Structure 1
Amino acid sequence: MSGGHATRSRRALALSLVFSLLTWAILSSALAGDDFEFRQSQIRLEDGIYYLDATMDSAFSEEALEALNNGVPLTIIIHLQIRRVNAWLWEDSLLDRQMRYAIRYKPLSERYEVYRLPGTSGRGFETREAAIRALGELQNVQLIAQDKLDEEEEYEIQIKVFLDIEELPLPLRPMAYLKPSWKLSSGWSKWPLSP
């Protein structure tokens, strides 16, 4: 009898702990806010192809900046989609692409570098602020051919940016998964795209 009571108590404690952790995770992600934010965008049509230029503000957490200053590269993923306005959830996107960029500090040269992955070299900068600013400049991003769009439909570009925790060194990952200061994301931004 007492063994059954102890088992129920342990289960209740375990469920309570799981519920508390889930509540903490939901609240911390809700309080985090946007860490990457798009300030402006321009979509242009050239030779039958749509291109995107956009500027993004990047607000890395203190922990991420400290890691960067200690030589840990930070990788961001820019997820682009083009979808019909009011498309069903299961409907395929006309475009679904992820672009990966990295920023790193090179202690020997005392310079910061921003580069597109895959790749190991890119543009160098004297200051961290200049490198972060360059990381947020998207230019001449090819989107889709105009003839792939139906003139009778309305479309939108959806874009989201987030820090790729999987690219952090293995010893940093467990902490990055648990701490809200590493869950850096913009949420989805949407802009209309007219055929």
Structure 2
Amino acid sequence: MVSIMPAYVTVKRLLTSIVFVFVSVQTVQAESFYIADAHTSPAGNGYLLNAEINYPLNARVKEALYNGVPITFVQEIQLIRVYPVLGEWWQWRNNIWSTEIRYVLRYHDLSQQYLLHSMATKTHRNFPTMEGALNAMGEIKDLSLPPQHTLETDNLILRFRSQLDLNALPSPMRPGAFLSSKWDLASDWYEVAWPSN
């Protein structure tokens, strides 16, 4: 016996599938780091970078943090000189400067404080909430870019991103973290516009 499914049942199943895929994509995006705002401003003979990075942590990373695992965050910043070879169709890109800003976030169970350690400045700050620590880490304020590379901003790209450093996790955790999408938290590369003259 051949049964023919009514069209409304097929359409209903199709719409349900589309909604499920949309919600799944939104959930994945909600658990990724993202750059909310970034801009440069002239200062002397160089430029300063100001940015805001949002760090939504999922339940797996929070659980590790609560259990005493230090979590390392890396902010990568690059200056790339673009040389058009065939106009906009083919360009040669040369990374002329890059730096990393590293932070280690820990939860101290006894004091119930979040400890944020800046690897660049070797300073520690305490926060009563995780959100406070993540907000402080996500604020890049007046970061000086190397003036010797920013004298000419035509064909110069400033981009940055942030991600977890899975290699900094304790050895027993690394294989599972590399294989799990729960630990794959990274923002996309964000290109910052230069101020117009």
Task: After superposing the two structures, state which structure 1 stretch, 99-108 or 31-40, moved more.
Answer: 31-40
What letter corresponds to residue 187 of structure 1 in structure 2? D
Question: Aligned in 2, Cα 1:90/1:108: closer, same or farther, shift over 3 Å?
Answer: farther
| Match in the other structure for 1:174 | 175
8 Å CA contact 2:160–2:190 kept in 1: the answer is yes
How high is the TM-score relative to the length of structure 1?
Answer: 0.74
**SS, match of residue 146 in structure 2:** strand
**SS, match of residue 81 in structure 1:** strand
Unmatched tracts of structure 1, length 5 or more: 1-30
Structure 1: how far apart are the matches of 2:33 and 2:54?
6
Structure 1: how far apart are the matches of 2:192 and 2:54?
17
Task: After superposing the two structures, state which structure 1 stretch, 81-90 or 95-104, moved more.
Answer: 81-90
**SS, match of residue 96 in structure 1:** strand
Moved over 4 A (4+): 85-90, 118-121
8 Å CA contact 2:39–2:192 kept in 1: the answer is no
1:1-195, aligned counterparts within 5 Å?
A: 32-33=28-29, 35-85=32-82, 91-117=93-119, 121-145=123-147, 148-150=150-152, 153-193=154-194
Structure 2: how far apart are the matches of 1:119 and 1:62?
29
Question: Aligned in 2, Cα 1:163/1:157: closer, same or farther, shift over 3 Å?
Answer: same
What letter corresponds to residue 52 of structure 1 in structure 2? L
Unmatched tracts of structure 2, length 5 or more: 1-26, 85-89
Structure 2: how far apart are the matches of 1:89 and 1:74?
37
Identity %: 29
Quote the offset at 1:156 in angstroms.
2.1
Structure 1: how far apart are the matches of 2:161 and 2:83?
18
The CA RMSD measured in Å over matched residues stands at 2.7
Structure 1: how far apart are the matches of 2:167 and 2:149?
37
How high is the TM-score relative to the length of structure 2?
Answer: 0.74
Structure 1: how far apart are the matches of 2:81 and 2:149?
15
8 Å CA contact 2:82–2:93 kept in 1: the answer is no
8 Å CA contact 1:105–1:111 kept in 2: the answer is yes
Structure 1: how far apart are the matches of 2:35 and 2:83?
22
CA distances 1:60-103 after superposition (whole Å, capped 9, x unpaired): 12110111111111111111111235667764223211111111
